[in-house]
Structure 1
Amino acid sequence: MEKLRFDFTVKPATDGKSNIICISSIATPNGQVFGIPVEYQPANHHQVILNTPNYVKVRKSLNKRHQTRKIWITMTDDISKAYLDEEDNLQFNDMYLEEISEQTNSSECMQRGSNQTLEKLLEKLLEEKEKKSETQNLGKISKDFMIEKFTGRNSNACQWIKDFNKECERFQIDEDKKKIEILKNFLEYSTADWYSNMLIKFTVESEWNIWEKNFCDTFANKGWSPIRYALAYKYQAGSLLDYALKKEKLILEVRKSIDTGTLIDLIAFGLPNFVADKIDRETLQGTEDLCNEIGKLEHLVGKNKYEKKMYVCPDNKPKKNEEKKPCPICVNGKKGIRYHPEDICWFKNQKSIVKTVNNSELEIELNETNPKN
Structure 2
Amino acid sequence: MDKLKFEFIVKPGEDPKTNVICITSITDTEKNVFLMPEKLQPVKLHDAVIKTQTFQKVKATLQRRHEKRQVWISATAELRDTYMDQDGNMQFQGYLLEEITSKTQQQIFTNETSTETLTRILENFAELKKESKQFNLKQISEMFVIEKFTKKTSSVTQWMIIFEAECTRIGIDVDIQKIQVLRLFLDDSCQDWYNSMLIKYTINSEWGIWKKSFCETYVNKGWTPIRYAILFKYRQGSLLEYALKKERLLLEVNKLIDRPTLIDLIVTGLPNFIADEIDRNKLRETEDLFSIIRGLEHLMNKRTVEKKGIDSDYKIKEKNFRARPCKICEKEKKGIRYHSESVCWFKNRDNDCSKKESIRNVNNSELEISLNEIDPKN
Which bin holds the TM-score, normalised by the shorter protein?
A: 0.5 to 0.7
Q: Are 2:122 and 1:49 aligned?
A: no
Separation in structure 2 between the aligned mates of residue 342 and residue 139 of structure 1, nearest angstrom: 72
SS of equivalent residue, structure 1 residue 143:
helix
C-alpha distance in structure 1 between counterparts of 2:335 and 2:248, whole Å: 67
Structure-2 separation of matches of 1:185 and 1:335 = 74
Task: Note if 1:311 corresponds to 2:311.
Answer: yes
* Contact 1:148 1:186 (C-alpha < 8 Å) held by counterparts: yes
The separation in 2 between residues aligned to 1:257 and 1:334, in whole angstroms, is 78
Tell me the equivalent position of 1:158: 157
Amino acid at match of 1:311: D
| Secondary structure in structure 2 of the residue aligned to 1:267 | helix
Tell me the TM-score normalized by structure 1.
Answer: 0.56
Q: Which amino acid aligns with 2:311?
A: Y
Identity percentage over the alignment? Answer: 48
Aligned match of 2:280: 281
Matched, 1:211 2:210: yes
Q: What are the within-5 Å matches in structure 2 for residues 18-57 of structure 1? A: 48-49=102-103
DSSP 3-state at the match of 2:191 = helix
Q: Is the 1:235–1:243 contact (alpha carbons within 8 Å) kept by the matching residues of 2?
A: yes
Instruction: Report the CA distance between 1:49 and its aligned residue.
Output: 3.3
Distance 1:163 1:347, change over 3 A: closer
Which TM-score applies when normalising by structure 2?
A: 0.56
Query: What letter corresponds to residue 255 of structure 2 in structure 1?
Result: K
Q: Evaluate the alpha carbon distance shift between residue 299 and residue 198 of structure 1 in structure 2; reply closer, same or farther with a 3 A threshold.
A: same
Q: What is the CA-CA distance between 1:314 and the residue it aligns to?
A: 8.1
1:281 deviates by 1.0
Task: Please list, as runs of the form range in 1=range in 2, the aligned pairs for 1:355-366 lying within 5 A after superposition.
Answer: none
Q: Output the CA distance in 2 between the equivalents of 1:55 and 1:175.
A: 41
Q: Which letter maps to 2:280?
A: R
Rounded Cα–Cα distance in structure 2 between residues aligned with 1:341 and 1:247: 47
**Which residue does the alignment assign to 1:252?**
251
What are the residue-to-residue correspondences of 1:283-298 with 2, within 5 Å?
Answer: 283-298=282-297
Q: CA deviation at 1:320?
A: 2.4
Q: Tell me the SS of whatever aligns to 1:278.
A: coil
1:152–1:219: 8 Å Cα contact kept in structure 2? yes
| 2:311 partner SS | coil
Shift of 1:345: 4.2
2:141–2:184 Cα contact (<8 Å) kept:
yes
Alignment-derived partner of residue 133 in structure 1: 133
Distance between the aligned counterparts of 2:270 and 2:346, measured in 1? 55
Equivalent position amino acid for 1:264 in 2 = I
Q: Which aligned pairs between 1:95-110 and structure 2 lie closer than 5 A?
A: none
Q: Deviations over 1:281-315 (max 9, x none)?
A: 11112111101111111122223333444328889
C-alpha deviations, 1:14-38, integer Å up to 9, x for none?
xxxxxxxxxxxxxxxxxxxxxxxxx
Q: Which residue of 1 aligns with 2:141?
A: 142
Shift in CA distance, 330/145, structure 1 to aligned 2, threshold 3 Å: closer
Deviations 1:239-287 (A, max 9, x none): 1111101110011111112221221111112111111110011111211
Separation of aligned partners in 2, 1:203 and 1:279: 56
Amino acid at match of 1:184: R
Cα 1:326/1:171, change in 2 over 3 Å: closer
Give the Cα–Cα distance (whole angstroms) in 2 for the partners of residues 188 and 296 of structure 1.
Answer: 38
For these two proteins, the number of residue pairs brought into alignment is: 254
CA drift at 1:165? 1.3
Question: Unaligned stretches of 5+ in structure 2?
Answer: 1-98, 119-124, 358-371
Give the CA deviation at 1:226.
Answer: 1.6
For 1:266, the equivalent position in structure 2 comes to: 265
Question: Aligned-pair distance for 1:164?
Answer: 1.3
Distance of aligned partners of 1:258 and 1:326 in 2 relative to their CA distance in 1, 3 Å threshold: closer
Secondary structure at 2:319's aligned position in 1?
Answer: coil
Do the aligned partners of 1:139 and 1:182 also contact (CA within 8 Å) in 2? no
Residues 207/62 of structure 1: CA separation in 2 closer, same or farther (3 Å cut): farther
Shift of 1:347: 4.1
Bigger radius of gyration among the two: 1
Structure-2 separation of matches of 1:211 and 1:323: 69
CA distance in 1, matches of 2:166, 2:344: 77
What amino acid is the match of 2:223? W
- Contact preservation (8 Å) 2:243, 2:290: yes
1:128-154 CA-partner distances (Å, limit 9, x unpaired): 987873442x42122111111111321
Asked whether the equivalents of residues 322 and 338 of structure 2 are also in contact (C-alpha less than 8 Å), the reply is no
In structure 2, how many angstroms separate the alpha carbons of the residues matched to 1:336 and 1:231?
60
Q: Is the 8 A contact 2:283 2:289 kept in 1?
A: yes
Residue 327 of structure 1: CA displacement?
4.1
Q: Secondary structure at the match of 1:179?
A: helix
Distance of 1:339 and 1:57 partners within structure 2: 114
Structure 1 vs Structure 2 CA RMSD = 4.1
Q: Counterpart amino acid of 1:133?
A: K
Q: Which structure carries more helix by proportion?
A: 2
Letter in 2 for 1:255: N
